[in-house]
């Protein structure tokens, strides 16, 4: 049977026309429905238009070459009819022009066009991918209208494309019609994507937008994958050996789509490889035959089992899950395993409710690929955080009020009454009400970040940068009042989050990351150094004051009480109020008696000195009275006693001798009354010794 390429050419031309119609229809569906996925599908169909254009040109040239061969054969059978103006060799060369054009077409035009198609698919796929990535989720199907009607048109397109795909794949089994396999694969991709888009639009009509989001991302990814495969095939064709008489598969004939449209070909290739490796017909065994018959049911059972696994939700410890039924809140799933209806009837969203999470205010952390200093063990080296260095990937300045503002729009020195500081504030929080966190706001984390930025900006506009006073009780962003400022800011953020029903609890707010811009860090450090010296002097003075007052009265509070009473007592003396003076005097005496420290010691010494003076005066008086009585009783004896007493007291430290002599002073006796420490030889009693 003689098979002509003319029929394949007609099929390619008809497919080219239908592809153009499909392109226009999907473009109109995208315009009227508002679905970005429909626009992406129309550009994928346009790639099929390019493929069918190449196939139509190739099959047309192939049909011309076949007709040329037929005419050449007829010419060889009519050799006797040669004219006198043209030789037989020239005639034969003239009838080979179409075949040469076909060879040139297959050698140069088709590979070049394969590169063009690959570039179109990759470029368009990347453009659509990054466009979707840069847009928000709502932009994928904003203002969706009449989704059911449009899904019907897409089902028709998918059905027609699928029938043509199967028809062209069947025709490609003939050698002359093998180029149609690329068109069949292209129609198969169109059928699958159009059917998926139709289903997603149908679900979108019931407020299930997740499937439409998946399809919107799947079309650009499919274009990138098919374009990459076409580019790889183009490179491989350069190194693939050419065998005369063998069909050369074009680069845009997708092997991936061919594997889906012709699963039998894969099984046949696998069976041939197994037979070759084992050396016998493995494909003829009963197991292989059973597997070949049951492969589709097994795959379907696997798909069903995988689908039913979506009924099981596993919530890890420290997490909670929200179960939605038909797009509405159903229940909260606690840690453990719970059951639900399969997707898309029920959906589960898992959130870490006990985990401490963080939002960064005023800065963006460094990316993972940025250079980080590490030691020889690979551990990150922590550098000191200095004001003059950049600490994070990005840091944003914060506008704060300047100290000393006069209210006239400028400070006393004429400068604008504002300052700039860099604020890098981590805010840690946890979810305490998952339902509020999910449903009260479209982006609860973004809402919390906006609240933190708003409250920080509002607070900074009225806060001070530095507090000069020590323990003044005032908050500041950089000074001693930073702790109080952090507590106030945390309280304001928590109050704003509660007002917005965010369902979060603020755990920590780190105000340590506030510092001046690096350009003025050195000058500001000089100012801070002067302030710190001033504060150090003030604190030293306060310490000395506390030390003196504590040593004086036992405690600062007790001294303050004594000072207050003394001040009141002095004012009462000035006013002349006797009753008040008496009452305050008694109260002051009690306070002085109850005090400790140096005051207590001075008062005790004064009391002891007074008691000593009084007792000594009383004793002196009593002694004088006794002396008067003794003198009156015997004046001579009293005088001798006083004289001897005076001699005793005055000569107590003097060595004394008693000298006795007779009247004529011829014989003198000296008696030494000094205590003898060791006896001499003259003191020995010789008689007793004998």
CA 454 to chain CA centroid, Å, is: 19
Q: Is the pLDDT of residue 85 over 50?
A: no
Final residue of a domain: which of 254, 275, 293?
254
Q: What's the token pair of residue 75?
A: 């010419």
- Residues 260 and 193 sit within 8 Å (Cβ to Cβ): no
Q: Is the pLDDT of residue 516 over 80?
A: no
Q: Is the pLDDT of residue 387 over 80?
A: no
Averaged pLDDT of the chain: 75
Final residue of a domain: which of 527, 545, 567?
527
> Same structural domain for residues 100 and 227?
yes
Q: Is residue 290 part of a domain?
A: no
At 467, the pLDDT band (50, 70, 90 cuts) reads: low
Please list, in sequence order, all residues whose beta carbon lies within 8 angstroms of the beta carbon of residue 625, skipping any fewer than 6 positions away.
none
| pLDDT at site 142 | 52
CA distance 35 to 154: 13
pLDDT tens, position by position, 12-34: 888 888 888 988 888 888 887 77
Q: Is residue 561 part of a domain?
A: no
Give, in degrees to the nearest 5, the angle at Cα 303 between 297 and 304: 90
- Burial readout 391-405 (b: 16 or more C-beta within 10 A, e: otherwise): beeebeebebeeeee
CA 581 to chain CA centroid, Å, is: 70
> Same structural domain for residues 620 and 511?
no
Please list, in sequence order, all residues whose beta carbon lies within 8 angstroms of the beta carbon of residue 334, skipping any fewer than 6 positions away.
315, 320
Count Cβ atoms below 10 Å from residue 122 Cβ, excluding itself: 18
CA end-to-end span of the chain, whole Å?
Answer: 179
- Residues 403 and 533 sit within 8 Å (Cβ to Cβ): no
Domain that holds residue 651: 613-683
Q: What percent of the chain has pLDDT over 90?
A: 1
Question: What counts of helices (H) and strands (E) characterise the chain?
Answer: 20, 15
Phi/psi of residue 123, nearest 5 degrees: -60, -45
Q: Is residue 466 part of a domain?
A: yes
Three-class DSSP category at 44: helix
CA distance 97 to 64: 10
Q: Is residue 311 part of a domain?
A: no
Stretch among 379-388, 399-408, 431-440, 637-646 having the lowest mean pLDDT = 399-408
> Same structural domain for residues 515 and 629?
no
Phi/psi of residue 125, nearest 5 degrees: -60, -45
H or E element that contains 425: strand 425-431
> Same structural domain for residues 628 and 479?
no
Three-class DSSP category at 336: strand
> Same structural domain for residues 94 and 195?
yes
> Same structural domain for residues 654 and 519?
no
Q: Is the pLDDT of residue 472 over 70?
A: no
Q: Is the pLDDT of residue 439 over 50?
A: yes
User: In the predicted model, what is the mean pLDDT of residues 390-394?
Assistant: 66
Q: Is residue 510 part of a domain?
A: yes
Q: Is the pLDDT of residue 650 over 60?
A: yes
> Same structural domain for residues 121 and 23?
yes
At 62, the pLDDT band (50, 70, 90 cuts) reads: confident
Q: Packing angle between helix 6-33 and helix 180-204, nearest 10 degrees?
A: 20
CA distance 259 to 244: 26
Higher per-residue confidence, 218 vs 302: 218
CA distance 400 to 22: 61
User: In the predicted model, what is the mean pLDDT of residues 45-61?
Assistant: 83
> Same structural domain for residues 203 and 65?
yes
CA distance 547 to 608: 27
pLDDT tens, position by position, 240-271: 666 565 556 677 777 777 666 655 555 555 55
> Same structural domain for residues 42 and 173?
yes
Final residue of a domain: which of 211, 231, 254?
254
Q: Is residue 662 part of a domain?
A: yes
What is the total count of domains within the chain? 3
CA distance 170 to 178: 9
Q: Is residue 374 part of a domain?
A: no
The CATH number given to whatever domain includes residue 471 is 3.30.479.30
Stretch among 183-187, 422-426, 595-599 having the lowest mean pLDDT = 595-599
| pLDDT at site 676 | 62
> Same structural domain for residues 496 and 631?
no
CA distance 456 to 3: 81
Torsion of CA 76, 77, 79, 85, to 10 degrees: -60
User: In the predicted model, what is the mean pLDDT of residues 59-77?
Assistant: 72
User: In the predicted model, what is the mean pLDDT of residues 415-433?
Assistant: 78
CA distance 441 to 463: 30
| pLDDT at site 408 | 47
Torsion of CA 680, 684, 689, 690, to 10 degrees: 110
Nearest Cα to 502, choosing from 450, 432, 431, 437? Answer: 437
CA distance 18 to 30: 18
> Same structural domain for residues 507 and 653?
no
pTM of the model: 0.45
Q: Is residue 286 part of a domain?
A: no
């Amino acid at each position: 049977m003689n098979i002509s390429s003319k029929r394949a050419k007609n099929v390619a031309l008809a497919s080219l026309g239908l592809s153009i119609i499909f392109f226009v229809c999907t473009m109109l569906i995208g315009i009227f429905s508002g679905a970005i996925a429909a626009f992406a599908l129309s550009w994928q169909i346009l790639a099929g238009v390019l493929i069918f254009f190449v196939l139509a040109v190739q099959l047309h040239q192939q049909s011309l070459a076949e007709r040329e061969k037929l005419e050449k054969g007829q010419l060889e059978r009519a050799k006797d009819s040669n004219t006198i103006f043209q030789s037989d060799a020239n005639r034969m060369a003239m009838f080979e022009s179409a075949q040469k054009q076909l060879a040139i077409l297959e050698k140069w035009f088709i590979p070049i066009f394969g590169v063009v198609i690959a570039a179109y698919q990759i470029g368009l796929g990347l453009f659509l991918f990054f466009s979707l990535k840069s847009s928000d989720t709502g932009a994928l199907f904003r203002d969706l209208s009449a989704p059911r009607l449009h899904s019907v048109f897409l089902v028709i397109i998918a059905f027609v494309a699928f029938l043509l795909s199967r028809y062209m794949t069947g025709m490609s089994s003939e050698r002359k019609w093998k180029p149609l396999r690329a068109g069949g694969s292209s129609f198969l991709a169109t059928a699958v994507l159009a059917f998926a888009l139709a289903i997603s639009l149908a679900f979108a009509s019931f407020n299930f937008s997740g499937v439409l989001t998946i399809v919107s991302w799947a079309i650009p990814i499919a274009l990138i994958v098919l374009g990459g495969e076409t580019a790889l095939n183009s490179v491989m064709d350069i190194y693939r050996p050419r065998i005369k008489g063998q069909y050369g598969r074009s680069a845009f004939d997708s092997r991936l789509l061919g594997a889906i449209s012709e699963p039998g070909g894969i099984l046949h290739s696998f069976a041939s490889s197994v037979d070759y490796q084992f050396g016998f017909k493995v494909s003829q065994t009963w197991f292989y035959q059973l597997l070949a018959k049951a492969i589709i049911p097994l795959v379907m059972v696997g798909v069903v089992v995988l689908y039913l696994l979506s009924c099981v939700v596993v919530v890890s410890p420290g997490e909670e899950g929200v179960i939605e039924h038909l797009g509405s809140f159903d229940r909260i799933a606690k840690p453990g395993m719970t059951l639900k209806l399969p997707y898309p009837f029920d959906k589960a969203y898992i959130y870490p409710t006990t985990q401490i999470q963080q939002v960064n205010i005023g800065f963006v952390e460094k990316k993972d690929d940025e250079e980080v200093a590490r030691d020889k063990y690979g551990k990150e080296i922590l550098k000191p955080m200095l004001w003059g260095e950049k600490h994070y990937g990005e840091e944003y300045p914060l506008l704060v009020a300047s100290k000393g503002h006069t209210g006239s729009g400028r400070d006393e020195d004429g400068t604008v009454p504002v300052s700039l500081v860099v604020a890098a504030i981590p805010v840690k929080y946890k979810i305490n009400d998952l339902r509020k966190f999910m449903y009260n706001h479209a982006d609860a984390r973004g809402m919390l970040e906006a609240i933190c930025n708003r409250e920080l900006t509002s607070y900074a506009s009225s806060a001070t940068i530095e507090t000069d006073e020590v323990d003044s009780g005032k908050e500041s962003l950089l000074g001693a009042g930073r702790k109080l400022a952090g507590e106030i800011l945390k309280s304001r953020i928590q109050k704003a989050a509660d007002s917005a029903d965010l369902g979060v609890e603020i755990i920590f707010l780190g105000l340590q990351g506030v510092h001046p811009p690096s350009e003025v860090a050195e000058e500001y450090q000089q100012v801070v150094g002067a302030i710190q010296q001033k504060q150090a002097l003030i604190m030293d003075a306060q310490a000395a004051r506390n030390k003196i007052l504590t040593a004086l009265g036992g405690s600062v509070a007790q001294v303050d009480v004594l000072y207050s009473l003394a001040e009141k007592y002095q004012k009462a003396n000035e006013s002349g109020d006797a009753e008040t003076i008496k009452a305050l005097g008694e109260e002051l005496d009690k306070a002085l008696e109850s005090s400790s420290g140096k005051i207590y010691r001075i008062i005790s010494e004064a009391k002891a000195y007074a008691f000593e003076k009084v007792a000594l005066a009383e004793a002196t008086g009593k002694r004088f009275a006794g002396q008067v009585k003794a003198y009156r009783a015997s004046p001579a004896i009293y005088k001798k006693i006083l004289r001897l007493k005076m001699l005793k007291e005055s000569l107590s430290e003097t060595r004394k001798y008693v000298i006795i002599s007779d009247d004529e002073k011829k014989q003198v006796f000296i008696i030494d009354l000094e205590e003898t420490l060791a006896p001499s030889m003259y003191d020995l009693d010789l008689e007793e010794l004998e």
